[in-house]
Structure 1
Amino acid sequence: MGNSKKRKKKKKVGYNSLGMIAIALVVLVLLGGLMLESNDLKERLTGYDAKAATLQQQIEDEQTRTEEIDKLKKYMETDEYAEEVAREKLGLVKDNETVFKKQQ
């Protein structure tokens, strides 16, 4: 009778260690999968960071361009601009100015 109790205990211990090994393998496989996914996410994050930096630079460039356009708009509303256009494009001169032309 004493032998049969020992055999039952040994069988239970054998099944328990086999189950523990199986669980450990499953956990290792899951950890490996998580590590691979983590690396993929890091690569994506790096790509997104680079894209965000590029977009931020574009925003800054467009803001600078907007400021330049606003300055030009204000300048175009002045009398100085109107006079400049009249001189260059229309060939107009002020009453007290003398115009010298090259002979061809």
Structure 2
Amino acid sequence: MSVIGKTRRKRKDKWGNRMALIGITFVVFSLAVTVTIKGTSLKGREREYAIRLENLEAQVDKEKERAKKLEDYRVYVQTKQYIEEVAKQKLGLVKPDEILLKPSQRQ
């Protein structure tokens, strides 16, 4: 081989090494950009899920409070006071010792 052939081979090898280095750099850069973009979208989702979780926890608290009120109402409905109240209001019943006074109708 001549000196010119070796020089061409070295140039060709240098060019090939540069192209490989450029290719690897491009791949690494592309991966870095992709990871950054995906990371940003995941952080956005995380914020959305955190807000959603807070809303759901608030709903659970409201439902627990509502369940407590319903339980209190269920206990109240079973009392004698409630039964008398309903009998007076809806059925118009009175106790034997009560006197009903009806307003006179004037025209």
| Count of residue correspondences | 104
Q: Which residue is equivalent to 1:16?
A: 17
Is 1:74 the counterpart of 2:75? The answer is: yes
Relative to structure 2, which stretch is displaced further, 72-81 or 45-54? 45-54
CA distance in 2: counterparts of 1:103 and 1:47, whole angstroms: 66
Runs (4+) of structure 1 exceeding 6 A deviation are: none
Which TM-score applies when normalising by structure 1?
Answer: 0.82
Question: How far apart are 1:75 and its partner, in Å?
Answer: 0.5
* CA-to-aligned-CA distance 1:28-62 (integer Å, 9 cap, x gap): 01110111111111122222222222211111111
Tell me the amino acid that sits aligned with residue 26 of structure 2. Answer: L
Structure 1 unaligned spans of 5+: none
TM-score, L = length of structure 2: 0.80
Counting aligned pairs with the same residue, the percent is 33
Superposed displacement of residue 90, structure 1: 1.4
Equivalent position amino acid for 1:58 in 2:
Q
| Counterpart residue identity of residue 49, structure 2 | Y
